[in-house]
Every structure is written in C-alpha cells, then in structure tokens.
Amino acid sequence: MSEPIGVAMLGYAFMGKAHSRALQALQHLDVPVRPELVSISGRTKEAVEEAAGEWGWGEAVTDWREQVADDRVQLFDNGGPNSIHAEPCIEAARNGKHVLCEKPLGLSAEESHRMWQEAEQAGVVHMCGFNYRFVPAVRLVRELLDAGELGDVVHFRARYLQSWGWDADESAWRFDPSQAGTGALGDLGTHIVDLARYLVGEISMVSASVRTLVPGRKVDDHFVAMVEFENGVAGTLEASRLARGRINSNSFEINGTKGSAVFDVERLNELEVADAKGFRRVLVTEEEHPYMRFWWPPGHIVGWGDTFVHELAHMLEAIAGEHEVAPHGATFEDGYRCDEVVEAMLRSAESGRREEVRSR
Amino acid sequence: MSEPIGVAMLGYAFMGKAHSRALQALQHLDVPVRPELVSISGRTKEAVEEAAGEWGWGEAVTDWREQVADDRVQLFDNGGPNSIHAEPCIEAARNGKHVLCEKPLGLSAEESHRMWQEAEQAGVVHMCGFNYRFVPAVRLVRELLDAGELGDVVHFRARYLQSWGWDADESAWRFDPSQAGTGALGDLGTHIVDLARYLVGEISMVSASVRTLVPGRKVDDHFVAMVEFENGVAGTLEASRLARGRINSNSFEINGTKGSAVFDVERLNELEVADAKGFRRVLVTEEEHPYMRFWWPPGHIVGWGDTFVHELAHMLEAIAGEHEVAPHGATFEDGYRCDEVVEAMLRSAESGRREEVRSR
Amino acid sequence: MSEPIGVAMLGYAFMGKAHSRALQALQHLDVPVRPELVSISGRTKEAVEEAAGEWGWGEAVTDWREQVADDRVQLFDNGGPNSIHAEPCIEAARNGKHVLCEKPLGLSAEESHRMWQEAEQAGVVHMCGFNYRFVPAVRLVRELLDAGELGDVVHFRARYLQSWGWDADESAWRFDPSQAGTGALGDLGTHIVDLARYLVGEISMVSASVRTLVPGRKVDDHFVAMVEFENGVAGTLEASRLARGRINSNSFEINGTKGSAVFDVERLNELEVADAKGFRRVLVTEEEHPYMRFWWPPGHIVGWGDTFVHELAHMLEAIAGEHEVAPHGATFEDGYRCDEVVEAMLRSAESGRREEVRSR
Amino acid sequence: MSEPIGVAMLGYAFMGKAHSRALQALQHLDVPVRPELVSISGRTKEAVEEAAGEWGWGEAVTDWREQVADDRVQLFDNGGPNSIHAEPCIEAARNGKHVLCEKPLGLSAEESHRMWQEAEQAGVVHMCGFNYRFVPAVRLVRELLDAGELGDVVHFRARYLQSWGWDADESAWRFDPSQAGTGALGDLGTHIVDLARYLVGEISMVSASVRTLVPGRKVDDHFVAMVEFENGVAGTLEASRLARGRINSNSFEINGTKGSAVFDVERLNELEVADAKGFRRVLVTEEEHPYMRFWWPPGHIVGWGDTFVHELAHMLEAIAGEHEVAPHGATFEDGYRCDEVVEAMLRSAESGRREEVRSR
C-alpha cells in the first residue's frame, strides 16, 4: 500500500468535479502516493457541503485559509475562478504545500510570474493544469518529436473552436473580466498556446486580432494570431466560442521535416500520423501508448475526464520524486510563459503591430 | 446520503477491473443506492488479494460460496470466465441476492435458460452485462427508434471486428472451449446479437458460416450470418478476431423508413444520423443525451470504461425500484435469447441450412 | 496518330451519356485505337437524334439492326435496358463486331450464358460493363492482392446502398420486371457480386433474403446474403435502394491474413489500407497508381465518369491485342457467372435454404 | 446547334492539358457558344505540335503573336508560365479577343493592374483562372452565404497544404523567380486569397511570415498570415509545399452567425455544413447543386478536371451575354486585387509589421 498524501481542493464547480473524480480514481490506481481527500472549499457553505458529500471530501470549508494552514494537507489543488488563483496558491506554497493550479495561472503575466517565483522559492512541487498535455495522443506526439520521428518542426497550427458563446448565460464568472481576465483567449487560447510551447518551443513574436462580437459582452469571443517561434517555426493560433457546429474542437496539425501529426480532442483517442507516404490513423490505446497502463485492452477508448487522472498521477509521481513535473507536465513557469504570449496578443490587437513576447 | 447496498464480485481480470472501477465511481455519483464493496473472489489467493487491495474490496475470498451466503451482500456481480457463470449466479439468486452476470450468460442456451428461470423464481433483479446498450449513442438510437424518428426498421447490419486473434496467447481461457464455449461467436457475436435484439427485435431465422483459421485453435475465429427478424427486417451479422487493422470496431448501421443511424464503438461518442436529406454527425455529449447527467459539458467525451458506470447505475436503480431492468438493460432472459440465436448459428454452420431460432 | 475504330452505341440515357463522353475523351488520350463515333440508336427518333447531335455521333438510327450490319462498325457498345442486351449483342458478335454490354448481362443466367457462348464462338472481344473494376482504388486492391501484400483473403463484405427507391418514378424501366429482370439485385447487387468475384474468387454457395417493401413495386428493393467462396472465404453481400441517407455508397472491406482494404465509391479516390499496425489512407492519385497516366498530378481527384474512360480504354487495348479483357475487365463469362450467383440468391430467397451456385 | 467560337491557347503543360480537355468536353455540353480549337502555342515546336495532335487543336504555333492577330480567334486562353501572362493577354485584348488567363494574373500587382485596365479599356470579357470557385461545393458555400443560411461571416480560415516541395525538381519554372514570381505564395496562396475574397470580402490588413526552408531554393516554401477583412471578419491563411502527408489539401472553414461550412479539395464533392445543431455531410451531387446539370445522378462524383469544364462554360456564357463573369467567376480585377494581398504579405514578412492592402 502506497503512502497517503493529504489533499485540499479549492473550487467545486466544473474543475472541482473533474479533479475530485480523478483523485477518487487514483485511490485505486498504481501511483506512488495515495491521495486522501482532506477538505474542499468554496464561498457558498451549502454548495460546498453538498460537493464534499458527493465526492468524498472529509470536510467542507468556506475559507481556503484554513486549508493552506492545515497540517494534514500536503497538496493544495486550486480549481477556483481565475481571480482566486494567486493568493491561495502563494499562501499554500509559503506553508510548504505542493500546489496544482488550474489554467490560466494568474489574471496577468505579472501575477503568474509572482506565483512561479513564490513556488520556486518555497521549494514545493508546482504544476499548472494544462490537462491536454495528458491526452495520450498529445503525449505521443511529443514522444514522436523527441524520438525524431517527425524530424524538425516546420509549421504548426492550432485552433480551439466552440459555439456555446452564442447562447451563454452572461452572468457566469467566465464573462466577468474581474474574475476571468479574458474570454476565449484565456479559456481556450491558453490551452493551445501551452500545446504550442510543449510541442514546438518558445513563441517569440505574435500578431493577433482579438474580437468581441456578442453585444454587451465584456470579454473576447474569438481571436486569430500568427506566431513565430524562437526556433524559426511559423504558425497560426485561433480560438472561438462562436464557431457554429463546433462543440469542443481543440485541434492542431504539426508538420515536420519527416512527418506530420493531426489531432482533435473531440476524437481524443485518435492521432493521424504522416510520413512521406501519407497519413495513418493511430488509435492511441495500445499497451505501449502513454498512460495506457491505467486502462483497458487496445481499442477500448478513454474519456476526457481520464486526462485528469493522468495529470494528477503525474503530479503525485513528481511529489514522490519519480520525475520532475517538466517537461511533460506544465509548471508554474509554463503557466507564466503562456500568459506572456497572451499579453503579447492583447498588445498586438491593441497596437495593430506585431509584438515580441516578453520575459521578466 | 443514499442507502448502502453490499456488493460481492466474482472475477478480478478484465471484467473484474471494469466493474470494480465503476462501483468505485458510483460511490460518488447520484444513484439511489450506494454500493459497498464487500468482497471479491477468485481461484488464486494471491491475485485476488492484490485485486481486493487495489480496488478497495473489503475482503478477498477464494470460494464464491462464501459470497453468496454472506448476509452483508445484496448484489452478486459475476465477471468470471463463462464456465463459472451459471452455478454461482443460481446459488446467489436462490439466496435472494440480486445478480448481474457478464455475457455470454451461460455456456449453452439450456444453461442460460436455467439461470433465467432460477432468477425469476427467486424474484431477484437480474441483469446480463451487455454493456454496449449503455453507450450513450446506442441508447440514443433506441430512443430515436422509440420516438419514431427513424420510422420502421427496414434493414440492419452489424459487425464486430478485432485483429488480436492473429497473435494471441492460445493458453488464455478464451481459447479453451470448456471455459469459453465458443470464440468470436460468444465473445463478440453475442454483443451484436444483443444490439440487434435491443434495436430491432427478435431474430427468427439465421444462416451462418462459422470458421476457425488459426491452426490448432479450438474455438471459432470469425463468422458471417444472414438473419431475419420476426418483424420482417433483414440483416447481416459478422464478427472476427482476424480482421487486420481493426482493433475494437463494433459497428452497426440501421436503416428505417424515415432515417438511418450509424455507430462504431471506436468512436463511441459519435452517432451518424440520417434523415431523407443525408447524414448528420451527432456528438452524443449534450446535456439531454443519455447518461450525460453523470458527466461533463458538451464536447467532453466519455470513455469505454464509463459504460460500466451507466450499466451498474441502471442495475442499482432497478434494485431501488426506479425502473425495470428491461428494456434498456439486458435481463437474464435477454442473455438466454441471445444464446438461442448463437446456437441457431452453430446449427446452421453445421447443417449448411437456415435454422430457426428456438424458444424453450 | 493511332488507327481509327468505328463504334456504334445502343442507348442514349444514363449509360449512353457515360459511354459517349468517355469515347469523346478517348479521341484525345493515349490509346492504341481511336474511337470514331459512327452511330447511336434508340427507339424514339427525336430523342436519339438529339443525343447524336449532343455527343457527336455521326448518325442517329432507330433500329439497332442497321448498326450491327454496318461495315464501318467494329465495336458495338450496348447501353440499353437489360431486356435488349442479348439479341443485339449476339447479332453484333455473329457479324464479327467486338461487343461491350452494360451489366447485368442478360435477363437470366441462361440468356447470359448464351451471349457468352455466342461471343466466344464468334471470336470477338467481349466485355461486360462492370465499371467499378476501373476505379483506380479498386484496381489497386486487386494489385495489392496479386502482389501478396494483403496475404490470403479471409473475409469479405460488400454493400451497395442508395435511397432513391423511396421516392422513385415507378414507371421507369428499372421497375418493370420485363425490362429490368430484378431490382436492387440486378442493378446494385451485380456490381458487388462482380467485385467479390474479381477480388476474392468464385462464389460457391449463397443464402439470401430478397425483399420488396414499397407497395405495388414489382421488383426487389433490397437484399441481404451470406456467401461462401470456393477458396473457403466467408462473406456478406447486401444492397438496398431504401437506405435513408445513403446516396451511392458502394463499399467493401476485405480482410486478408496480412492486411485489409476498405473502399467506398462515394470517396472513390481514397483507399484505406491496413497492415498489422493499422489503417493508412491512400489517395489513389499518384503517378504509379492505376490509370493515372491519363490524368493529373497527385491529389487532383478523378470523377465517377472517368471510370468509363478507363473501361473503354481497356476495351480498346484488348481489341488492339495489347492484353486480354480478363482478368482486370469483366468478360461475358464474368457477366454470366455473376448472373448465376444472382439466380442462386433468388432460389435461396424462395426456398429458404442455402443454394449452390450453378455452372452450365 | 450553338454558334462556334474560335479559341487559341497559350501553353501545353499542366494547364494546357486541363483547359484543352475541358474545351473538348464543352463541344458536347449545353453551352451557348461552342468552342472551336483553332491553335495552341508554345516555345518548343515539337512539343507544341504533339500537344496539338493529342488534344485536337487545329494548328501548333510557336509565336503567340500569330494567335492574338488571328481573325478566327475570339477567345485567347493563356495557360503559360506566369512571366508570359501579361504581354500576350494585353495584346489579345487590344485586338478585341476575350481573355482567360491562369492565376496568378501578373508577376506583380502593378502588372496585374495594367492587365485589368487594358482588358477593361478594350471592352472584352476577361477572366482569371481561379478554378476552385467552380468546385460545386465551393459555389454552394457562396450560395448559402448569399441566401443568408450561414448568417454573417465571423471567422474564416484557409490552408493549402502540399508536400511535393521536399523532393521537387528545382529546375522547374515554378522555382525560378523570374518566371514564377513567388513560390507557395503565388501558386497556392493566391487560390486561398481568392476564395477568401469570393466568400468573405475584401481583405484590408495582413500580417504574414513567408519562409524558404529548402537550401538553395529561390522562392518561398510556405507562409502563414493573419488577415482582417473590410467587414470586420478575422481570419488566417496558410500554404505550404512542405506539409508531409498532405498531397493537395486545399481546405477552409467559414463560421457565420448562423452556421458554418468546411471544405477540402481532396474530397471536393463533399461539404460539411453546420447549423446551431451541428454538422451535416452534404454530397454535392444533387440535381439542384451547382453545375450538376452537366453530370450524373446523385452520388456519382465529379473530378478535379471537371472544374475546368465549369470554369470555361462560365466564360463562354459570359461571352454569350448570359451573365457577367463576376461575381461567380474571377475577373482580371479579382486577379489584380489578389496580387495586392500577396504583396501586402510580402511587405509584412519584410517589415515585420502589419500591412494594409493597397488599391491603385
């Protein structure tokens, strides 16, 4: 039986549910430390108590300060709205808790940078919740790249398209700039910026157009961007909450000197891989494929929720010293660097010029 | 907090893992009774103990007789090899336990019939583990049919194709007729026979060819069959463990007087639905789609393992009296009737004639 | 400049148009003999004259007897309704004309057999218009098989699905048994029977169900069949004019001991080819692919009409002695053997038994 | 019988073949004027004579000046290398010949502008050969937009990906800047710029990166661009000759306020059309679909070469006064405006800034 590790969770909505279930599943999977669900927190007492009961958390609290001071807690998992990422994570780190924080990391690159610095200084393990790195097919792309199977990257394009923005409830926190920061850019764009950085490298320059179409909406609906990477690769990034017919289509294509790979999260178990002869469809469910040790015989597909199992397993392994969070997981540094790209996009949209990606 | 229900599981291999995980997940989902994992059993002490520890079962036992006599147990879940389906299930039922048994139900239609009769006589809730009925897209097809959206069924075709039979370990129980009964027929064919019965109706006549190609193998590798349904629909059924390139492709097409539906389990979150104008791709992840209350916002797909969550939730709801197992779940009667179709296929392959499907 | 060859055409409807255009195109392509369009015939004077003018035929005649007696004619191309296939073709052959006849060859296996015998006896080149053999991707499958790339065939399934039968004009000759013989069986079924024979081998046994659903219709709407081939391969064949959503989906899958191939005529430039590792999408437009010498650089797809260019080029090459019609083209023998399979299906549907395929 | 019109063609390579065949086919299709193939020209006497013989041109000449002075010629069709577009077209127009010129129109926006002005001044019908406007599915998108079915356009993305650039013969005229101008930009990029203008409207601003990767190559291999349209739509455009696995994938997605459309020329008979409920696959082969009057019953697909039949039919109809070339065909004005976008891309790649698209 592996050692237990106490976990505290902030947030009980979409991400709270995804993380809680993954933690539950990990109690019965082969990981070096076994999560114990100490407490979950949220602003509304009733709701957080219901969540605690539903997902098996030991306690429901309304003040995250209790959690970050709790001796039983070694891992603080922050799945709350973007505006309450920084302070609780920093406090947790200062108290020696390992920290996992949902994306986007902070409300600004400055805030994200501070979170990273604090976590580093505290010497804790830190991770930013870019869960698409933990889709087996995405990890496989990185492995193919590392093994040289696709050659050097030449060209990258990614788009994350949804359509729910047409009929959304405007009172949700995701449409409030003070809680969410940006709209499609922070919610969807950060995912593809992170994948671009994971698969290709640092982005050096962006030229972007960021737009809000729905009347009265205070955050952006969609954006387009052309980017250049430090290694000379050219690319495009786009995201939209207004792409009719698209539900959750997070897709990319990467062209290398030897081969290509094409992915869409709506078919997350599949990867189209090309060599000089053309494309082959890989069902990423073979025993040797990433994370498949947790699951089923070949051809029995995993779901979106399972990516959180992989992500949290990776965090637990990192805590146990089996490997670093990087490069396969995103650290707070990755969360910060992603935000610098986002800010360069915003500057570009404002200035009408290309903008260099800054580094503090 | 919902009432607890004691569960005992037989089998710790592929199905044991799938059921155990689903039961774990159901402890934190909205179901009317909450499963408590009392005991798991298997022949090899060490292995069953490891499984018990891994998946959170209270006890590991090597004799299922202990389980079916255990007062703490209200539900007996049999996921062992086919040859140990009948006796334990019958004993459990006689002891007043509800029974869930993996497919194929018995080693013969006669045995399955006996299991059904015993379970009926005992008055317990009984279910046969045809989990593909619990794929949201499959359930949606049935709902479309019930609502008349596709009109009356005209034509049905199903094929379940895998390729692992080329390089399989012949010592596995699945290749031993005394443990497995048949090969591709019982393992894959029963799934599509059950879907045919669920979606179209009773099969009245079959003409089949059943073949073994791999030298020395004692069970069948693939079969083809033409079928007629009682309601006049014509169809074909085929399965193979020797279809190169196919990993777990369980697919069907149903043509009705008003529309059609096309499905493949390798893309289990998708359904192609046609009306007179052509095909539309439905991503079966909307709030109103079957079982989606358990899961995520639209576009966030579920995995194969999640079908067991749906299946077991259905069983628990039936035990709680919320609905019958039928028609959306398969009962022991369904397990039995499926076996009659299989036996008619075997008779047809032997006789070289069409054979009527019998009913005892 | 290649030698001219005089061509006479019977029929000016769908097939008349397809053949006329192909013959026009072949006047400017690299074939060993150059078609000269001597005359076209049909029952309605006005319509045939219009067709002659439109497609560049030298003369419009209303009696095919003029054509088969015309000294300027060396190739008689019969694209009329099924009921006027036999007599004109036989007369043409007796007069020493090479004959190309649309499928199905005769109204019965007996009639087709007679056509074959007469053509053989006359020593002319004869071909039956199974144009799907001349889809580059289909020919490629045969070449892969001949080269052993897919190993020995294990399993074959084909289905030809359309939906226009729901709203068809019942007065068309295709619904008149005296002109068409059968319905979906002769029109669609013969295409897939021919492909089965071309790709797998002779069919020895069939078990079929043949149905008419539309009230008052005198020919069949759809059928299903299970077949066994002389070489031991098992398969299914199905066709329907009542498959909602399907427009012209003529598809097959062939599983061999080493690989598989999947094809659909709605995407006729593509072939899915599997080896032990999975499926690869081949865009069959490379220079080395069959018939591509006639066309464009890679990736520039051909259309359905172009298959008639390939078919007629093949016939002209056979006439010029460059190769036999068989095996890549269908001869009158192939037309006849196909009809024997169809008749075995009809017998099976009638008798409710499996039926052996006869050979006269 | 429709009136004849004399046609002269410059160029006998890829485009010469495509146009010649289309003109041949149009001699037998329902168009208001019937093309007569007067002469074809090219620099190499032997080659042009062979082409003339092969494709049925009355004469082979080595000096296009003879053609533009020929009284029998009413339509001058220029399919030569880019560097000999301007002078012959201008001379032809001055002589009162209608002109069809392959894309890109001139070697520079300045040259294209002059061609446009000259053609306008001469009062002849002029057209630039953007043949993808004549893919039935592409025309259908425009019709859906005109009918308001997709609402107002929000977002557009297009990419034209090929891979032959990795192993190309560098001595081809397409790699010589003096003959081709640019590389992927002029060859592929102009096609998608034209489609963007056809489907969305004028592009006002671009930010682009244009790259050459293959050592020693003198024209660009690939580019990425972000664009803004006058009507406020945001978009991305990309093209590459170095995208491994891509053969001729010219694809776009257009998102409107009510619906979306997705297209790829590798499946040019298909269109994915979304409304608020999701995507529907339309096989663009129905009688009511654009240009289908020329072809076959539904489901029988057309080929890439057939788009030239549509394009030339459109030109002939315009000459006959049935409609203008615009908006469904591209005029010399369209050829010119496309080049202004290309030049803005080149300026942007050079300056590292966004650049406005100019208008002379």
State the nearest Cα–Cα gap between C203 and chain B, in angstroms. 14
> Cα(D347)–Cα(D188) distance, rounded to whole angstroms?
18
Q: Please state the φ and ψ torsions of residue B219, each to the nearest 5 degrees.
A: -120, 165
Hey, which CATH number is domain A133-356, 3.30.360.10, 3.10.180.10, 3.30.70.3270, 3.40.50.620? 3.30.360.10
> Cα(B235)–Cα(B193) distance, rounded to whole angstroms?
11
Which residue type occupies D323?
H
Cβ-count burial D102-126 (b if 16+ within 10 Å, e if not):
bbbbbbbbebbbbbbbbbeebebbb
pLDDT in tens, chain B (360 residues): 689 999 999 999 999 999 999 999 999 999 999 999 999 999 999 999 999 999 999 999 999 999 999 999 999 999 999 999 999 999 999 999 999 999 999 999 999 999 999 999 999 999 999 999 999 999 999 999 999 999 999 999 999 999 999 999 999 989 999 998 899 999 999 999 999 999 999 999 999 999 999 999 999 999 999 999 999 999 999 999 999 999 999 999 999 999 999 999 999 999 999 999 999 999 999 999 999 999 999 999 999 999 999 999 999 999 999 999 999 999 999 999 999 999 999 999 999 999 999 999
pLDDT in tens, chain A (360 residues): 689 999 999 999 999 999 999 999 999 999 999 999 999 999 999 999 999 999 999 999 999 999 999 999 999 999 999 999 999 999 999 999 999 999 999 999 999 999 999 999 999 999 999 999 999 999 999 999 999 999 999 999 999 999 999 999 999 999 999 998 899 999 999 999 999 999 999 999 999 999 999 999 999 999 999 999 999 999 999 999 999 999 999 999 999 999 999 999 999 999 999 999 999 999 999 999 999 999 999 999 999 999 999 999 999 999 999 999 999 999 999 999 999 999 999 999 999 999 999 999
Residues B187/B219, Cβ–Cβ less than 8 Å: no
Tens digit of pLDDT for each residue in C7-64?
Answer: 999 999 999 999 999 999 999 999 999 999 999 999 999 999 999 999 999 999 999 9
Residue-by-residue DSSP string for B219-274: S--EEEEEEEETTS-EEEEEEES--TT-SSEEEEEEEESS-EEEEEGGGTTEEEEE
Q: Which of A279, A285, A289 to mutate to test the interface with C (most CBs of C within 10 A)?
A: A279
> Cα(C255)–Cα(C200) distance, rounded to whole angstroms?
10
Residues D56/D22, Cβ–Cβ less than 8 Å: no
Tens digit of pLDDT for each residue in B309-341?
Answer: 999 999 999 999 999 999 999 999 999 999 999
- Position C1 scores a pLDDT of 61
- Position D1 scores a pLDDT of 62
Residue of D nearest to A352 (CA): D354
> Cα(C83)–Cα(C105) distance, rounded to whole angstroms?
9
Tens digit of pLDDT for each residue in C141-150?
Answer: 999 999 999 9
H or E element at residue A190: helix A190-199
Residue of D nearest to B280 (CA): D280
Query: D39 - beta bridge partners?
Result: D8, D59
What six digits make up the tokens of D268?
Answer: 């040019």
Q: Which architecture does CATH list for C3-131?
A: 3-Layer(aba) Sandwich (3.40)
Tens digit of pLDDT for each residue in B30-84?
Answer: 999 999 999 999 999 999 999 999 999 999 999 999 999 999 999 999 999 999 9
> What distances in angstroms separate CA C46 from CA B328, C42, C53, D293, D352, one per listed residue?
62, 9, 11, 21, 68
> Cα(D174)–Cα(D30) distance, rounded to whole angstroms?
36
> Cα(D298)–Cα(D300) distance, rounded to whole angstroms?
6
Helix axes A86-94, A109-122, angle to 10 degrees: 10
Tell me which residue has tokens 């897209």: B137
Residues C144/C271, Cβ–Cβ less than 8 Å: no
Q: Please state the φ and ψ torsions of residue D356, each to the nearest 5 degrees.
A: -75, 145
Nearest to D257 by CA among B36, A243, C281, C82: A243
**B chain contacts of residue C226, beta-carbon cutoff 8 Å:** 207-209, 224-226, 236
- Position D2 scores a pLDDT of 82
Nearest to D234 by CA among A176, A188, A354, A207: A207
What six digits make up the tokens of D72?
Answer: 């029998």
What six digits make up the tokens of C67?
Answer: 């054509």
Q: What Rg do the C-alpha atoms of chain C give, in angstroms? A: 20
Q: Please state the φ and ψ torsions of residue B261, each to the nearest 5 degrees.
A: -140, 140
**A chain contacts of residue C281, beta-carbon cutoff 8 Å:** 278-281
**B chain contacts of residue C267, beta-carbon cutoff 8 Å:** none
> Cα(D56)–Cα(B69) distance, rounded to whole angstroms?
92
> What distances in angstroms separate CA B284 from CA B139, B281, C159, D278, one per listed residue?
10, 9, 27, 11
Whether C305 sits inside 8 A of D295 (CB atoms) is: yes
Spell out where B94-137 has E strands: 98-101, 126-128
pLDDT at C2 over 90: no
Tens digit of pLDDT for each residue in C262-284?
Answer: 999 999 999 999 999 999 999 99
pTM of the model as a whole: 0.96
Tell me which residue has tokens 């995103």: A330
Which residue among C277, C278, C282 sits closest to A278, beta carbon to beta carbon?
Answer: C282
Which residue among A205, A213, A276 sits closest to D244, beta carbon to beta carbon?
Answer: A276
Whether C305 sits inside 8 A of D304 (CB atoms) is: no
State the nearest Cα–Cα gap between D320 and chain C, in angstroms. 19
Spell out where chain B has E strands: 3-10, 33-41, 59-61, 75-78, 98-101, 126-128, 153-161, 203-211, 222-229, 234-240, 249-256, 260-264, 270-275, 278-283, 355-356
**For chain A, where do the domains classified as CATH 3.30.360.10 start and end?**
133-356
Whether D159 sits inside 8 A of A161 (CB atoms) is: no
Which residue among B211, B238, B279 sits closest to C245, beta carbon to beta carbon?
Answer: B279
Whether C303 sits inside 8 A of D298 (CB atoms) is: no
Nearest to C223 by CA among A51, A221, B235, D233: B235
Nearest to C221 by CA among C171, C186, C184: C184
What six digits make up the tokens of C301?
Answer: 């797809």
Whether B279 sits inside 8 A of D280 (CB atoms) is: yes
**D chain contacts of residue B278, beta-carbon cutoff 8 Å:** 280-283
Whether B280 sits inside 8 A of D277 (CB atoms) is: yes
- Position D164 scores a pLDDT of 96
Q: Which of B159, B212, B226, B351 to mutate to test the interface with C (most CBs of C within 10 A)?
A: B226
- Position B2 scores a pLDDT of 82
> Cα(C347)–Cα(C343) distance, rounded to whole angstroms?
6
State the nearest Cα–Cα gap between C64 and chain B, in angstroms. 40
Q: Which of C272, C281, C287 to mutate to test the interface with A (most CBs of A within 10 A)?
A: C281
Helix axes B332-351, B190-199, angle to 10 degrees: 120
CB pairs under 8 A between B and D: 18
D263 burial type by CB count under 10 A (0-12 exposed, 13-18 middle, 19+ buried): buried
State the nearest Cα–Cα gap between C84 and chain B, in angstroms. 32
**For chain A, where do the domains classified as CATH 3.40.50.720 start and end?**
3-131
Which residue among A56, A303, A304 sits closest to B28, beta carbon to beta carbon?
Answer: A56
What six digits make up the tokens of A151?
Answer: 């050659």
For the four alpha carbons of B291, B294, B298 and B303, in that order, the dihedral sign comes to negative
**A chain contacts of residue D253, beta-carbon cutoff 8 Å:** 243
- Position A119 scores a pLDDT of 98
CB pairs under 8 A between A and D: 141
CB pairs under 8 A between C and D: 101
- Position A2 scores a pLDDT of 82
pLDDT at D231 over 80: yes
Residue-by-residue DSSP string for A193-218: HHHHHHHT--EEEEEEEEE--STT--
**D chain contacts of residue B299, beta-carbon cutoff 8 Å:** none
Whether A280 sits inside 8 A of C283 (CB atoms) is: no
Whether B278 sits inside 8 A of D279 (CB atoms) is: no
Whether B274 sits inside 8 A of C244 (CB atoms) is: yes
State the nearest Cα–Cα gap between D258 and chain C, in angstroms. 24
Residues C114/C107, Cβ–Cβ less than 8 Å: no
Give the 3-state secondary structure of residue A157.
strand
Residue of A nearest to D206 (CA): A207
Interface partners of chain D (CB pairs < 8 Å, 3 or more) are: A, B, C
Which residue among C151, C232, C244 sits closest to B276, beta carbon to beta carbon?
Answer: C244
